[in-house]
Structures are given as C-alpha cells and as structure tokens.
Structure 1
C-alpha cells in the first residue's frame, strides 16, 4: 500500500487556515477572494471565473438551505498536489463537505464539494431488524483495477450449502462510499446485510470518485464508464473466483445512477451476469433529472421563486448545453452541470441503458419508491415500458418508499434522509426471493 507523505506541522496549520478561509469567503458570497486563492493551474482569470465559482456554489447550497455552521477543518493525507483538508458545512437540510488541497505556498490546487462523511460518523448505524450478523461473515478487502484500489466489504453466508448466489452493489451518483451513507443511514449496507441474512453473498465497495477524488477527477477525459466499469468488473471477477460463490449466479444491483450504469457493466463483463436488479432507475437523462430535482426542492420552500432563482437558471443553461450540438471535448467544465468535464457528458449521450439491457437478454428486477422525487415512479415506469417484451421483467413499486426505499409519508424532502431508518424490509424479501428463484 502506498504510504502517505508527511507534511510539516506548520504547513498543516497553514493548509487548515486556508481551507477555513475558503469556506468563510464562500459563505459570505466573496467568490472573488476564493478565486484569488486558487493556483494558476486551476484558476480562470477574470470575472468569468468568479461567476462560474459562484454558480457552482449556489448549485450545491441551494438544495440544502442556508448554512448553519462551518465546522473546524480536518487534515487528511498529503498527495502530489499538496495537503488535503476537509471542512464540513452544516445546512438547514443536511451537511456537505468542502474538500481542498493546499500546496506549500498556501495556494489551493483542488476544490471539490462532496457529501459529508464525518456527519454520518457522528451517528451510530444499527443493523436493521431483518439482518442477522450471526448468519454471515463480513470481511474488508481491497478491489484493484488499473493500479487504483478501493476499499470493499464482502459478506459470505455461513451456509452449509455452497456455492451460494451473489450480488454486486453499485452505488448512485457522486463520490459515494460502499454503504451509500446518508446521515446516520447506510442503505447499501442494509441491502448487503439483509441479503446476506437470506443466504445471498454480497460485495460492495467505495466508488473511485470517493476513494481517490484528486487522482481520478483531474484527467479531463474522465467518463461515467471510468467511474463505474473497472471496479465493478473487478468485483464480479472477485466473486467468480471465490470458492463459496456460484459463478453462474452473480447479479448486479444498482441504485440510481448505479442502476443506469449496471447494464453497461454487465455488457463489459467477461461472462454473462445472471440478472440485473435496478433500484430507482430512470429513463430520464442525468442532466435533465438534476434540473427537475432542483426545481422540486425549491418548490418545498413557499418563499422561494424557482423561476427567478439564479442557481436554477444557471443549471438549466448548463443542461441545455449538454443537449446542444455545440457540446464538444473543448467545452469548459464551468459551463456544464456541477463543473463536470465535457467528455463525461458526451459519453453519457452515447449510452442507452434500455438498448443495452435488450442486448443482454437476462432477467430484470425493478424496485421503485412511490415517493421518490429524484427518480419518479413515472420515469421508472417509462423505463420498464420501453424494455423488450421478450425479457423476464419483474417490477415492485413501494408506495411509501423514497429514493433510498425508506418508508415514509407525505412529500419526500432531502431532510427526510437524515432521520435514522432502514431500507423497507419488503425490498429485502422481494429481492432475495427473486434471486433465489433462479
């Protein structure tokens, strides 16, 4: 394992001070001050750079509401670009983290907004009632692909009858850990432990964008294929080589964008996967979905005027560019949703998940929450309706379920994800029954 370089204490203190200053300037709306702190390698000179950073900041903060607290900085590892520092920022509807890298001269060399890990660590996750840890063994391991390793967790049932079926879990969009942690909740861990308690092995892992954000996001040609396929294939191969696993009964379970990408992973596997379990999958393109989601979140605030909101207006303009014939590899990232480079969006435009499912000719299980605002039931039904009739397709709609298939009532909102809860037990039972029927 690669050893982290040691940073002198004064450089650590300086880096923490710089990260705190960045957070404070952003909270105050002084994006010009932040741009001035950026290293020349990532800074766009002039007013445009200031406006682009302001737009990106608004896109992150708007769904979460006003800032309530900027927490003390946490110093992480040092990499080739400098000292990594994380600052958790609490908002009305949940936290996120500002992750910056500061070079020895005190200049910011990377700047990312991510889901907050430390918030989740403050609350203790407890196993759901349907998970029995005495029935399986979980061990941590590493998955490596193309020289990049991520942490993973493998659950093997303590079954006298082997080999057993297995499921690879694919997390949703963004830099997401193996448990898909949201507040005190770990929906993918719920799924993994629930299925393992039913005699089904599971393997889940940190996405590369979570494990190595500075390393993987810097190449301008990074795509969704790079984000999902390499380590998913490594996971499939790891299960196929395990003596307790039935190599002919390996399934992919994807959530949200992980569900969208699951057919693409299966199409790139060395041998046919046994089936696809698609949880909150949509026929709607990602850049359309983020606009609709932002508009919905704004609608929850009776005092907000979505049509006049600058953050939403900027996001709509960026999404329109993704659809435009003007999009090319040279399009500046700051003109695109979340500052994600053009090759990522160009790659997604060429990928049709429904057509890919049709080429696989494997059974499909669709799991959808009726209260999900991120992937609506209507979009999920549109996906199901477009699948070829010759496929074996099973659908389950959970009327009380939200995006993570947590059961609740009333219109779903981001803040709901942060109340301690678990994936609906019916989801575990239905998924396990479907896997074990084959």
Structure 2
C-alpha cells in the first residue's frame, strides 16, 4: 500500500463575505516562507478558527516542522497557480527540495485566512507505457462511463470483449492515494494492463478515476472522510453500473482490488452482497500502522548510507505510535501522515480478514513474494483466516513485486520508475478463475 503519496496536514473550510486581506498567492507564499523558516507560531496565526483547532501549534512544532526540515533546503520554487473552489481559493506551489519534489497546496478563504494545508506528490513524469503482448486490441472495445451521480460522480472506462452472449465483468478498485483509472504508478499502468488483458480473455472490465483524484480539493473540506468515501462507495456504485451493461451477465460481477482496494474488498462485498466473488491482489491483513513502520524501516535499510535515526524516520515512528495509541483506545488530534482522525478511527474498527471470513462468496487471493509494501506475512494472514474454505484459492509468485511485475532480488522503489507491465501469468490466473465461476 503506497502510504506516502500525499501528506495531508489538515482540512477545513469556512466561508466569509469579507474582501480578502491579501491575495491567495501572497498568503500561500507566506505559508511556504514560514514552513521553511520553521515558524510554527507564525504559521498557526494565519489559520482560520477550524484549522487552528484541527492543527494546533504544538503539532506544527513537533510533527510538521521536523518533516519539512528533513526534506532539505529549497532548490527551486515554481510559480503558483490558483483554482477556485466555491468561496475558497486553492493555491498550488511546485517545490523542489534537496530530498523531495512536491506541490504545496494551500486553501485560502475570502478573508485571507488559511483553511487547508497539504503536501501533494509532485507532478508525475511522462509515462512510457507500452501495450503488453497479452493485450489484443482487436478483441475488445472501450467506452467512457460515469460512476455515481451529483457532486461526487467520477469518470471511468468500460472495456468490453468482442464476444457473443453475455460475459462476466470485474470492477477494478485502486490502491491508496489519488489514483487515476489506470492506477498509474511510476512507469506502470497496472489497471490498464489488467483491463486490456482480461478483456482480451473474455472478461469485461470497469475502471475509473478515484474520487480523491477527481474531487481532491472538495474532499479537503470533509472532516469525516473515511475509507467508505475514499473507496467503498464508488466501488459499489461501479458494480451497479457494470450490471446494467447489455454485454455483461449481472450475476457474474466481481471486485478485483489491489493493495488498499484489496484491503477494502471484504467491506465492499458486505455492502454489495450481489457480487459474485472477490479477487484480492497484494491486500494487507495487518494494521496500517504496522505496514508503515515496516516499509519505512525497510526503505532505510536499503538506502545508500541510510540513517537509522533520520528526522523522517523519527517522525514516522512518532506517527506510528499515535496510530497504535488510537487502536488501543486513545484519541488523536488533527491528522496523522495525511489521514484525518475520522479516517483512522474507522480503520481501527475494521478487520479485513474477519470480514472476509464471514462472507459467503468465492475469493482468489494473489501475492507477489518480492512485495515489500504488503508482504507474505499478510498473505499468511489471509490463509489463516480462510483456512479450510474450498471456495477460496491462494497463489503467490516468487518473482513478482507489489505491482505484480517481474524482478529479481530485493524489491526496491526504483523498479517502479522503469517501464514494465503486470506479469502475464497473473492476468491468465485471474481470467481463468473468473471464467470458471458460473
């Protein structure tokens, strides 16, 4: 599960009819200057009332400022751009720091107060995706669809086999972060590979842009944002859309969830008992905070000259302790590593393995053995929870990583920056399993 795609510091919105005291661009630049100077008190004074409560000065001082310092000195500060979101102006400032490139996102209300503050991933590099050999474009067609209605609807694509009669269909459910319909990660397009590969094998596929990508600015003002709003709701709506397609057998609609999408799949199935089954790809059973701690320690261990007591690692450890405290019955203020308190509170109540055990539907659970983000320990968790179930199939792949791409030795983030595709055996295994469910 990719957990560092965006660091959400807090979110709030307040409306005012006053004329702005300063321009949104100037206010955002002042926020940046105070962040770089480590001026927690001065930054806190710029917040509106809701932000002051959501992100107290001591949290800025103890958590945010050390993280910014860990990213190093500014090498380049780009020109700001402004987007209107109702009574809020959202300012984006591209930043290149010594250790990280990112976008600073500042929401400014009409009174000139800061109503939201985010660090977003830098604009991604051009993706040199190449169609894999198992994709046969002559075997399928693709058309645009919409998921949901009203303010939260999202666009998607339906890939349909050229076949006689009705075919089974799957909804692809993303990993964490503001993912596009292709689940673009580095130089990979995981969901495009799956969509074209499965459609070439007689399975209709519906994929869509994630709500956190399409409605990022508006979701920043949702203090009660949880896994339901991020993932579950749109997956259920997408399954309903798929059932209505004339080419699709409505009794053979499945969920294929990757990473966070697999983690959420049992909850999606509970919300939609009409589903014919689940396919879980690199889905965790362990608590999110344990994955974050393990991933961070691993990345430090393989980094050249990795400092085991670096400021970033220390901040991650503190964040993990906050999450453990919440799981033990405590409380958290504001957000932790981009996740608001409501999101985390919801997660601690959710046990995906126990939820899956209660489901009366077939499941296929696949895992790359080289995956350092969701590991074989999680795969063992699924096996333990679902032991003895004849309708559950497990398979792991020795040479595959978190994106189900082939490699050798220890998996490293640099693998994602090299062009590649989902391994053909994964596409074949999913297609065969779905076609066998009649």
Normalization by structure 1: what TM-score? 0.84
Whether contact under 8 Å (1:163, 1:246) holds in the other structure is: yes
Paired residues of 2:400 and 2:407 also in contact (CA < 8 A): yes
Partner of 1:379: 378
- Report the counterpart of residue 333 of structure 1 in structure 2: 334
The residue aligned with 1:3 is none
Question: Structure 2: how far apart are the matches of 1:145 and 1:322?
Answer: 35
Asked whether the equivalents of residues 39 and 107 of structure 1 are also in contact (C-alpha less than 8 Å), the reply is: yes
CA drift of 1:29 comes to: 4.7
Partner of 2:426: 427
Task: Give structure 1 stretches of 5+ with no counterpart.
Answer: 1-10
Q: What's the counterpart of residue 270 of structure 2?
A: 267
Q: Is the 8 A contact 2:44 2:56 kept in 1?
A: no
Residue aligning to 1:369: 368
More displaced 10-residue stretch of structure 1: 131-140 or 166-175: 131-140
Matching of residue 313 in structure 1 with residue 317 in structure 2:
yes
1:288–1:319: 8 Å Cα contact kept in structure 2? no
Kindly state the Cα deviation for residue 199 of structure 1 after the two structures are TM-superposed. 1.7
- Residue 23 of structure 1, CA deviation: 4.7
More displaced 10-residue stretch of structure 1: 67-76 or 145-154? 67-76
What does the per-residue CA deviation read over 1:190-241, in whole Å, with 9 as the maximum and x for residues that have no partner? 1112111212111111222222123234333222122222211110110111
Structure-to-structure mapping, 1:49-60, within 5 angstroms: 49-51=59-61, 54=64, 57=67
CA contact (8 A) 1:216 1:222 kept: yes
User: What residue in structure 1 maps to residue 47 of structure 2?
Assistant: 38
Residue by residue over 1:288-311, the C-alpha shift from the partner in whole angstroms, topping out at 9 and shown as x without a partner, is: 211221222222233411487421
1:171 equivalenced with 2:174 (yes/no): yes
Instruction: Report what 1:156 is aligned to.
Output: 160
Residue in structure 2 matched with residue 281 of structure 1 by the alignment: 283
CA contact (8 A) 1:67 1:91 kept: yes
Which residue number corresponds to residue 302 of structure 2? Answer: 300
In structure 1, C-alpha distance between the alignment counterparts of 2:174 and 2:57, rounded to whole Å: 37
| Partners of 1:171 and 1:207 within 8 A in 2 | yes
2:188 aligned counterpart, secondary structure: coil
User: Cα gap change, 1:346/1:254 in structure 2, threshold over 3 Å: closer, same or farther?
Assistant: same
Q: Secondary structure at the match of 1:355?
A: helix
- Change in CA separation of 1:251 and 1:21 when aligned onto 2, cut-off 3 Å: same
Q: In structure 1, how many angstroms separate the alpha carbons of the residues matched to 2:426 and 2:316?
A: 34
The range that moved more, 372-381 or 346-355, is: 346-355
Deviation at 1:245, TM superposition (A): 0.4
**In structure 2, what is the Cα distance between the partners aligned to 1:130 and 1:94?**
36
Count of aligned pairs between the two proteins: 414
Measured after TM superposition, the shift of residue 96 of structure 1 is 4.1
- When the two chains are superposed, the root-mean-square deviation of aligned CA atoms in Å is 2.9
Residue of structure 1 in register with 2:435 after alignment: 436
Q: 1:80 aligns with which of 79, 86, 89?
A: 86
TM-superposition CA deviations, 1:43-95 (whole Å, max 9, x none): 3587414225526845xx97xx7678546346353112422233444578875
CA distance in 2, matches of 1:177, 1:225: 18
Q: SS at 1:278's partner residue?
A: strand
> Helix, strand or coil: the match of 1:360?
coil
Match of 1:204 among 203, 207, 221: 207
Give the secondary-structure state (helix, strand or coil) at the position aligned to 1:110.
Answer: strand
**Secondary structure at the residue paired with 2:52?**
coil
- Contact 2:323 / 2:344 at 8 angstroms: preserved in 1? no
Give the Cα–Cα distance (whole angstroms) in 1 for the partners of residues 51 and 207 of structure 2.
34
* Alignment CA distance shift 1:430-1:361 (3 Å): same
Structure 2 unmatched ranges of 5 or more: 1-19
Q: Secondary structure at the match of 1:411?
A: coil
- TM-superposed deviation, 1:242: 0.8
**2:369–2:400 Cα contact (<8 Å) kept:** yes
Aligned residue for 1:136?
140
SS state at 2:48 partner: coil
Question: Highest relative contact order (Cα 8 Å, sep 6+), 1 or 2?
Answer: 2
- The equivalent of 2:251 in structure 1 is 248
- TM-score calculated relative to the size of structure 2: 0.84
Q: Select between 98-107 and 247-256 the one with higher mean Cα deviation.
A: 98-107
Most deviating of 419-428 and 28-37? 28-37
Which residues in structure 2 correspond to 1:88-237 (within 5 Å)? 88-89=94-95, 95-116=101-122, 118-120=123-125, 122-145=126-149, 147-159=151-163, 161-237=164-240
1:37, 1:106 → 2: CA distance?
8
- The range that moved more, 271-280 or 341-350, is 341-350
Partners of 1:144 and 1:80 lie apart in 2 by 22
Q: Is the 8 A contact 2:40 2:65 kept in 1?
A: no
Aligned partners of 1:204, 1:88: CA distance in 2, in Å?
A: 29
User: Secondary structure at 2:358's aligned position in 1?
Assistant: helix
